[in-house]
Structure 1
Amino acid sequence: MIKARTAKFQIGQIVRHRIFSFRGVVFDIDPEFNNTEEWWLSIPEDVRPRKDQPFYHLFAENAESEYIAYVSEQNLLPDNSGEPIRHSQVAETFIRDRTGGYRPRNSTLN
């Protein structure tokens, strides 16, 4: 029997990485790992996440740059700083809401 998992974070939610110094806004969610084996094996074994958990696509940023990140649920925490995300694609995809998070501009985002 397959155990169904509910994602802890939502589309438009701002999150931060538990270990590394970056944060981002969720724009897509995979119910479990859905990237290449090569990508997964490139992560050092001592910090490699389990595959049987949600993985999140983020418009991410750190102090130096903006990029797309693919992060396991176990490595994310909510970001309650209230600071907006500066990633250039955020404004194309989301509208900032009153709570400090984001909501999709296009209702076809899940």
Structure 2
Amino acid sequence: MVATPKFGIGQIIHHRKFDYRGVIVDVDAEYSGSEEWYELMARSRPPKDAPWYHVLVDGGMHSTYVAERHLETDPTGKQVEHPALGEFFDRFEDGRYIMRRRH
């Protein structure tokens, strides 16, 4: 059985372990990366059968792929700074980003 994601696209999160903020741009119901990446990067061995998130990192130029168990809701209510925000979102409203409309 696939778990229901706790977070959604446009939501601002905080990474518990590495103490960074970011915004979710995509959600995978379960891990969808390579076995090589998991072995190298996912050292705490988070479950593969739980949701994973694609996150633009606040103040950075990069994105990350994060297991749900490492995330929590960001309490600051502040926007995220990232050069790729405009590729995914139109605006920031009520504490979250609103996805761009596809034409």
Fold-level similarity (TM above 0.5): yes
Gaps of 5+ in 1: none
Residues 47-77 of structure 1: per-residue CA shift (max 9 Å, x gap): 2211110000011135xx3311000000100
Gaps of 5+ in 2: none
State the SS of the aligned residue for 2:31. coil
State the SS of the aligned residue for 2:38. helix
1:80 aligns with 2:75: yes
State how far apart, in whole Å, the 1-side matches of 2:62 and 2:31 are: 19
State how far apart, in whole Å, the 2-side matches of 1:107 and 1:55 are: 24
Identity %, equivalent residues: 38
1:49 to 46, 49, 52: 46
Equivalences, count:
103
Which consecutive aligned stretches of 4+ in structure 1 deviate over 2 angstroms post-superposition?
95-98
C-alpha change, 1:44 and 1:25, in structure 2 (3 Å) is closer
Give 1:28-107 correspondences, 5 Å limit: 28-43=26-41, 45=43, 47-61=44-58, 65-106=60-101
Query: TM-score w.r.t. structure 1 length?
Result: 0.83
Displacement of 1:21 after TM fit? 2.1
RMSD: 1.8
Amino acid at match of 2:85: V
Alpha-carbon contact 2:23-2:58 (below 8 Å) kept:
no
State the SS of the aligned residue for 1:20. coil
